[in-house]
Amino acid sequence: MAALDEIRTIVILMMENRSFDHMLGHLSLEDPKWDVDGLREPDTNPRYANVFQHRIHRPFLIDNEASVIRDPPHSRHLVDVQMARSPSGKKYRMSGFVQAYFEYTQHQAEHPPPMGYFDSRGAWMTSFLAKEYCVCDRWFTPLPSDTQPNRSMAFTGTTLIEDTGSRLIPHREHVFDWLNKRGIRWRVYHDGPPFFLLFGRFHELVGMKYRPISELARDLQREDPDEAPQVIFIEPRYFDFFWSDVPANCNHPLALVGNGELFLHQVYTALTSNADKWARTLFLHTYDEHGGFFDHVPPLPIENPAPAGAEFTIGFKTTGPRVPGLIVSPWVQPGKAFHGNLDHTSMLQLLAEKFGSGPEDYSASVNHRRAQGIRSISEALSDAPMLRSIPTRAPRPGPLAPSMKRQPRSSNERAFQQAALELLKHEGPIATSAKYPDLVGAPLTPDAHP
């Protein structure tokens, strides 16, 4: 299509653990005429009722994030509880978020964290981009599970694991391998040790393809288009990097959304700093999974059987819940909502259309999802660019965030620890510290605590 022929650069930013209603449900509350499937009449709408111990819980506005910040559960079993499959097994009521939260935490609250949502003041940059560009209101996390399986789906097209574990992520061909085979230039810009560390790509991590986010704007200004990367992956500072004093900005609870919004603003400002390059850029922003936060839209019936060699045997019958999905580019209609069914493999379809022979050219597993109705992001693009001044937004400062240094609690935190130690072992402290100074402070054994 015309748009893909003209686009030179595809940029992907995947953040952590927030649902669509949680971050963008406010769009339909603040503008009921907008054709976006967000929240409507949250105080009375029966679709949103989560009943637990004879009490009805409903979505509520988060006006003080610090007072409700928690990390809701999102493992495979508890996501199944959240989606609340009907006795017939054919429908999902999306009414078990409070029950799953209580099962996991044994904590009852007046306003359970999974039911909270931000408005355009709290999610100020996400809301701005949704209004100025294209919001995808049917972008689902591929699997009803947590971080590692869904990031495997996003960056390999399949998964060998069903849950997050304290280990490197087993996988087959990575998207970087797919791009390398086709001679496609790619680069990672990071604000801390990137998640790709967990895929064990150690030699690559200390090479020139990985650069600090502070260099993104400079590179966009100076690099010749014929030498610049054709695909850019943006990596925030992850909450799971548990031995750092620097606050995370990936939006994984307990990290504050305000820091993630500032990071999103930084990325957008850098990408739009060169108007000529921005005119031929496609920026995709989404979340790896819903993080246990409420969303009212049932999952898609997409079968994902366990592949050969997988560490699990029972395949998945549906996607997970919706996550925020934004297409930010001159090649979309401003304020448009795209209603096509997407998940993270839609990005891989897009890469195959742009750099291969078509959306079917990525892998058999991606094609299996495509055959069941998962569409390509290219369907949301316009045939011609929108000719207008680049929209801008002043940053909204947030409260100072506390240090994130703590003892490791989650499986993914311990996976980061193991991966950091493996990187130091494989590439040595000099090369590693030159690229990632923060990793020099990594606990030296898996059982050590900061």
Which comes out higher in pLDDT, residue 385 or 295? 295
Tokens of 66: 């610090």
Interior CA angle at 365 toward 360 and 381, to 5°? Answer: 45
Name the percent of the chain lying above pLDDT 70. Answer: 98
CATH of the domain spanning 2-27+119-441:
3.40.720.10
pLDDT of residue 446: 55
pLDDT mean across residues, the chain: 93
107 and 308 Cβ atoms separated by less than 8 Å: no
- pTM to 2 decimals? 0.96
Tell me the per-residue pLDDT of 50-85, one tens digit each, with 9 for 90 and over: 999 889 999 999 988 877 778 898 999 999 999 999
pLDDT of residue 449: 43
For the chain, what are the domain ranges?
2-27+119-441
Considering just the CA atoms, what is the radius of gyration of the chain in Å? 21
Of 172, 223, 218, 169, the closest CA to residue 194 belongs to 169
pLDDT of residue 86: 87
Strands of 225-273, DSSP E: 231-235
Which comes out higher in pLDDT, residue 360 or 11? 11
Least confident of 10-19, 80-89, 94-103, 214-223: 80-89
* Residue 305 Cα to chain centre, angstroms: 23
Of 348, 359, 412, 420, the closest CA to residue 173 belongs to 348
Model confidence band, residue 3 (pLDDT cutoffs 50, 70, 90): confident
pLDDT of residue 450: 40
Mean pLDDT of 244-259: 91
Question: What are the b/e assignments for 399-413, b being 16+ CB within 10 Å?
Answer: eebeebeeebebbbb
